[in-house]
């Protein structure tokens, strides 16, 4: 049974102190976001409950196996009993992968080839500071090796606790809100049409979509209620893909992040309309048609569409489209309801 997320700072502080009391712990944070979002000051008290607290940081959207290997090498002797992660998806993924590395003695690079079944990783307490990836609710993590996306996961590395503190998302820029918010929307819609969907994952995805309806407001004129709903919506989108996994929109996006530095949610937004057109033509499902229309990322300020991005960067659209189609993970494509045509991008 997966516990419900902890809601609000007061309960989160109390639970964190209980989680860390007397433990040898590792704190994984964003290099700058930890202080900038207010989490450093807000969590300083409960973090002192640990008897020993080592730290690791990561900056940016792109998490490389080389960086993770170096971080693990530096901390190899730490053997933390507890891990706290405060940040966006890449930070939470760092914590999960390090937990697996400590549990197995294998480097993150080695874990990309496979994770042993019978392991007991140190529990992770996740504080997402975006709304967002839903990584606080999933049992897998994404890292890159030379522009190739690797998924590393294990059922026991899903964060043991997740705390949603909307105040930590108040300093997100409009662009960060658009990127991370659309990531959550796409995950929920992809979860609905995924071949791996179940009744439970569809219920979680619909719950997410109901909460993420304020994305436009969160981008243009956020208020506390909208920020709170977005963070909870992102959590439920994570719960949905934790079961169903993502599909072609995510699979096609990774190269845009790895090679061209496009933030994850924006990269998903760039390819989403093409995947949606393909899947909707195949499925002819009124609910999904309505959702894709309602959340069309081309209408969200800041989420520059793929053709415009190519023009701005001097990239050939057809060549990039061919590269994206050639880059996809066949396992992830197998989870898409329709097969992708070589003419997907027109
Ligand atoms: Fe995502």
Residues 133 and 186 grouped into a single domain: no
Per-residue pLDDT, 331:
75
Output the domain CATH number for residue 307.
Answer: 1.20.1090.10
- Spatial distance between the Cα atoms of 240 and 307, rounded to a whole number of angstroms: 30
Domain end position, chosen among 168, 196, 217: 168
User: Which strand (E) or helix (H) includes residue 295?
Assistant: none
Q: Are 254 and 193 in contact, with CB atoms under 8 Å apart?
A: no
Kind of pairing between the strands at 140-145 and 24-30: unpaired
Residues 111 and 224 grouped into a single domain: no
Q: Are 279 and 195 in contact, with CB atoms under 8 Å apart?
A: no
Residue 338 domain flag: no
Output the domain CATH number for residue 115.
Answer: 3.40.50.1970
Residues 79 and 155 grouped into a single domain: yes
Residues 158 and 233 grouped into a single domain: no
Interacting residues of 67 by C-beta distance below 8 A, sequence separation 6+ = 58
Residues 47 and 76 grouped into a single domain: yes
Write the burial class of residue 145 (CB in 10 Å: 0-12 exposed, 13-18 middle, 19+ buried): middle
Percent of the chain with pLDDT over 70: 100
Per-residue pLDDT, 246:
96
Confidence of residue 215 (pLDDT cuts 50, 70, 90): very high
Residues 177 and 97 grouped into a single domain: no
User: From ligand 1's centre to the CA of 197, what distance in Å?
Assistant: 16
- Spatial distance between the Cα atoms of 120 and 6, rounded to a whole number of angstroms: 23
Q: Are 189 and 247 in contact, with CB atoms under 8 Å apart?
A: no
User: From ligand 1's centre to the CA of 45, what distance in Å?
Assistant: 32
User: From ligand 1's centre to the CA of 51, what distance in Å?
Assistant: 35
Confidence of residue 1 (pLDDT cuts 50, 70, 90): confident
Per-residue pLDDT, 330:
80
Residues 11 and 154 grouped into a single domain: yes
Residues 159 and 190 grouped into a single domain: no
**pLDDT tens digits, 104-124:** 999 999 999 999 999 999 999
**pLDDT tens digits, 295-339:** 999 999 999 999 999 999 999 999 999 999 999 988 778 999 999
Residue 283: C-alpha distances to residues 186, 201, 286 (Å): 17, 18, 9
What is the count of structural domains for the chain?
A: 2
Q: Please give the average per-residue pLDDT across 272-300, as a whole number.
A: 98
Residues 188 and 149 grouped into a single domain: no
Domain end position, chosen among 168, 197, 212: 168
User: From ligand 1's centre to the CA of 49, what distance in Å?
Assistant: 33
Per-residue pLDDT, 61:
83
Q: Which two tokens stand for residue 164?
A: 């949603």
Q: Which residues are placed with Cβ below 5 angstroms of ligand 1, an ion?
A: 183
Residue 247 domain flag: yes
Per-residue pLDDT, 85:
98
**pLDDT tens digits, 15-64:** 999 999 999 999 999 999 999 999 999 999 999 999 999 999 999 889 99
User: From ligand 1's centre to the CA of 243, what distance in Å?
Assistant: 14
Per-residue pLDDT, 41:
98
Residues 209 and 157 grouped into a single domain: no
Residue 346 domain flag: no
User: From ligand 1's centre to the CA of 78, what distance in Å?
Assistant: 30
Residues 142 and 182 grouped into a single domain: no
Domain end position, chosen among 168, 195, 228: 168
Residues 147 and 29 grouped into a single domain: yes
323: containing domain: 172-333
Interacting residues of 290 by C-beta distance below 8 A, sequence separation 6+ = none
Q: Give the residue, 329 or 225, on which the prediction is more confident.
A: 225
Query: Alpha helix locations (H) across the chain?
Result: 9-20, 33-36, 39-47, 65-75, 89-104, 108-111, 174-193, 199-211, 215-220, 224-244, 248-260, 264-283, 286-294, 306-313, 317-327, 330-333
């Amino acid at each position: 049974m997966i516990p419900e997320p902890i809601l609000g700072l007061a309960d989160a502080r109390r639970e964190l102190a209980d989680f860390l009391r007397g433990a040898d712990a590792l704190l994984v944070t964003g290099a700058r976001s930890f202080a900038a979002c207010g989490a450093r000051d807000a969590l300083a008290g409960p973090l002192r409950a640990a008897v020993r607290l080592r730290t690791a940081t990561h900056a940016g959207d792109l998490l490389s196996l080389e960086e993770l290997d170096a971080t693990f090498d530096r901390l190899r002797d730490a053997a933390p009993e507890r891990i706290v992660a405060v940040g966006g998806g890449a930070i939470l993924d760092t914590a999960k992968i390090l937990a697996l590395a400590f549990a197995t003695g294998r480097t993150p690079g080695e874990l990309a080839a496979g994770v042993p079944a019978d392991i007991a990783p140190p529990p992770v307490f996740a504080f997402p500071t975006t709304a967002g990836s839903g990584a606080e609710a999933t049992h897998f993590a994404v890292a890159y090796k030379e522009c190739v996306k690797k998924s590393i996961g294990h059922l026991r590395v899903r964060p043991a606790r997740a705390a949603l503190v909307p105040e930590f998302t108040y300093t997100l820029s409009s662009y960060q809100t658009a990127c991370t918010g659309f990531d959550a929307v796409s995950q929920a819609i992809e979860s609905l049409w995924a071949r791996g969907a179940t009744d439970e994952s569809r219920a979680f995805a619909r719950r997410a979509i109901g909460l993420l309806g304020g994305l436009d407001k969160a981008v243009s004129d956020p208020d506390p209620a909208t920020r709170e709903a977005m963070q909870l919506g992102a959590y439920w989108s994570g719960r949905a893909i934790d079961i169903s996994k993502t599909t072609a929109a995510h699979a096609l996006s990774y190269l845009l992040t790895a090679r061209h530095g496009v933030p994850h949610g924006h990269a998903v937004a760039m390819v989403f309309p093409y995947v949606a057109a393909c899947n909707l033509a195949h499925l002819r499902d009124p609910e999904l048609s309505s959702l894709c229309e309602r959340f069309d990322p081309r209408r969200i300020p800041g989420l520059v569409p793929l053709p415009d991005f190519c023009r701005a960067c001097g990239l050939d659209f057809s060549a990039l489209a061919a590269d994206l189609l050639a880059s996809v993970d066949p396992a992830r494509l197998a989870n898409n309801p329709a097969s992708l045509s070589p003419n997907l991008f027109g």
